[in-house]
Amino acid sequence: MANFEQVNGKIKLRVTTLNVEPLSGKRSGSHGLNDLPLPKVALASELPPPRWDHSPGEVVSIVKDAIAQKTKVNDQIAALPADECSFESIPLAEAEGALQAITESMRLYQEVAPEESLRKASVEATTLTDDFNVEDKMRLDVFRAKANAEKNIRESGKWDSLTTEDKRVVDRMVLEGKRAGLDLPDEEREKLAQLQKELSAVCSEFGHVSRDMQSDDFVPWYLDPL
């Protein structure tokens, strides 16, 4: 414990050492809580610590590999017969989580990396990710597999055995496709897809402007000499 005291007109720091006995494995206190066991806390993580020593080439390559892996999962799901679609055979939540974990970590380099080459590689990887996300969201074959899975789960009676979290995953998978317009008639769906592509292009153009601001050569307009 540390505190301040005044000695001969001067402020001095006094440090007091406290002797603390180790816990015996039981919670101390009153009101009959003495015999309650202490909660066990897991301190070790099963995931390896993130790396922050990637080269520019690695950043782009890692994102491309992650996109290819997610595309492979999508293709496998889309190829499933309608009667084989189920919660277990459509592991999209895990695949999307794995993709996001990789792409978001590579995206961070454009914000914090001191080397411009690494920031540019991160921008390129982000563009690849954004373009893929637009295509991924509009895959009609994957949406139909999701809808078939929900139908099979409900008709088989397995719906009631799912946890609350699993039910939400199933609901959200189908809802996201509906919000993307994948259950619309062909003509309306194609029109919506075209609008989404135009919106993505505008967002990408704006993104390039904001990313240019991270260049070492960028000069704000208010500092640019006339």
pLDDT tens string 118-133: 999 998 999 899 889 8
CATH number of the domain that 145 lies in? 1.20.1050.40
Phi and psi dihedrals of 49, rounded to 5? -65, 150
Angle at which helix 92-107 crosses helix 116-137, to 10 degrees, equals: 150
Residue 44 maps to a domain: no
Residue 192 maps to a domain: no
User: Which range is least confidently modeled, 22-26, 72-76, 91-95?
Assistant: 22-26
Angle at which helix 116-137 crosses helix 56-78, to 10 degrees, equals: 10
Give pLDDT, residue 69. 95
pLDDT tens string 18-68: 454 454 444 444 445 455 565 555 555 566 778 899 999 999 999 999 999
In the chain, the number of structural domains is 1
Residue 3 maps to a domain: no
Q: What is the mean pLDDT of residues 190-197?
A: 84
pLDDT tens string 134-153: 889 889 999 999 999 999 99
How far apart CA 189 and CA 181 sit, in angstroms, is 6
pLDDT tens string 198-220: 887 788 777 666 666 666 666 66
Residue 208 maps to a domain: no
Residue 79 maps to a domain: yes
Domain of residue 166 covers 56-181
Q: What is the mean pLDDT of residues 142-165?
A: 92
Residue 76 maps to a domain: yes
Residue 7 maps to a domain: no
Q: What is the mean pLDDT of residues 6-25?
A: 49
Residue 102 maps to a domain: yes
Give pLDDT, residue 100. 93
Give pLDDT, residue 225. 60
| Beta carbons of 14 and 2 less than 8 angstroms apart | yes
